Amino acid sequence: SPWKPGLPLLLLSPQAFSTTCTRCAKDRRLRRKRAISERQLTRYFVDQRRVRVVGGQGGGGGHSFHSEPRKVFGGPDGGNGGDGGHVIFKADQQMKSLSSVFPFYQGFHGERGGSKNCYGANGAHMYVKVPVGTLVKEDGRVVADLTQHGEEYIAAYGGAGGKGNRFFLSNENRAPKLFTPGEPGQERVLHLELKTTAHAGLVGFPNAGKSSLLRAISRAKPAVAAYPFTTLNPHVGIVHYQDYEQVAVADIPGLIKGAHQNRGLGTAFLKHIERCRFLLYVLDLSVPQPWTQLQDLKYELEAYEKGLSERPCVVIGNKVDLAQSRINLPLLREQVAERVIALSALTGDNLEELLLHLRELYDTYVKTEQSRGQSPVKW
């Protein structure tokens, strides 16, 4: 026996040995994300921003005359000033909100021209990162639509640099004293508008269970409560699959009748559905005649934008754990032509069928985009 007197038997048991300490163990539980209330989330998610942009001013032209021994009248040698820097909006996939965009940006100024025909340095460009799916509007007119990662738009041009007195040298004027200042940069007031670029959009009336469903299939933590309009901001959850594909699902705040006329939360959040490639209609099976919800939702979408209700979709009958919902389920399937997936976001019943069908819709979207020669949106 390897045991020696004075050594406790516990040290020799194979279960007691550990190659790492508890703090460094690989199988320890990951830290959970800090819960953020809906009121706190309003500070982080901003989908509209008014921005004043000014290009950098060009540097002034130089004014000097060359002079050295035996060459007193060397002529003008003032160089041109550098151009001012632009203000450029750049779409970045890591950005998810306009909350980090400041209300004012200005490009860097160009340097002044120097003597000995030295040109001033150009001002550096000011890059402003914005989320993918940002619309840039000026006076209500769309001037740019940044839908791809890395896409850029010059919001304000920098001013041109001034001319030094060397530029004005001519046979008629051998000693020009004229030089010009740099031009001011372009100044504009732009409105940024974010449209969520998710693959799927959860569409439904208030308290249909959209937020609960998003919490069940992803790691997103939207607020859930038993009163209407709990969700005041769109949330995007990522559904992870075993082959490392990621499908983005957006929880759109609840719609009501007349939403296309800006009633309730109105068109402020209908715009987020425009970028969704396919729709998930979430119906409350516990209410009488749940198929009327689908008719009203499609009417609101079609009234807002023609053809929006005809996108690939699936009907989700939520709250199937209730007794009244099980009674309404066969009636709903008789009234609806689309595929109906009955589940319970609260208990997790039949979530697998939704995840499999969601992947089928995503694969169809990817194949369609590739056949058109376009790259599908990846998360």
CATH numbers and ranges of domains, the chain: 45-195 (2.70.210.12), 200-372 (3.40.50.300)
- Say how many CA atoms lie within 13 Å of 123 toward its Cβ: 32
What is the residue-averaged pLDDT of the chain?
Answer: 80
Residue 143: per-residue pLDDT: 93
Contacts of 92 (CB under 8 A, 6+ apart): 129, 130, 131, 132, 149, 150
Report d(CA 82, CA 59) in Å as an integer.
5
**3-class SS at 278?**
strand
Per-residue pLDDT at 129: 95
- At residue 52 the predicted structure's pLDDT band, cuts being 50, 70 and 90, is very high
First to last CA, the chain: 59
Element (H, E) at 210: helix 210-217
- pLDDT for 235 equals 76
Among the ranges given (22-31, 55-64, 156-165, 217-226), the one the predictor scored with the smallest mean pLDDT:
22-31
Q: How confident is the model at residue 15 (pLDDT cuts 50, 70, 90)?
A: very low
pLDDT at 221: 66
d(CA 79, CA 118): 5
Give the span between the Cα atoms of 347 and 163, in whole angstroms.
74
CA separation for the pair 259, 267 (Å, rounded): 6
Q: Is the pLDDT at 346 greater than 80, yes or no?
A: yes
Tell me which H or E stretch contains 332: helix 323-335
Question: What digits encode the pLDDT tens for the residues 298-323?
Answer: 888 888 888 888 888 899 998 888 88
Q: What is the pTM of this model?
A: 0.66
Other Cβ atoms closer than 10 A to 84: 32
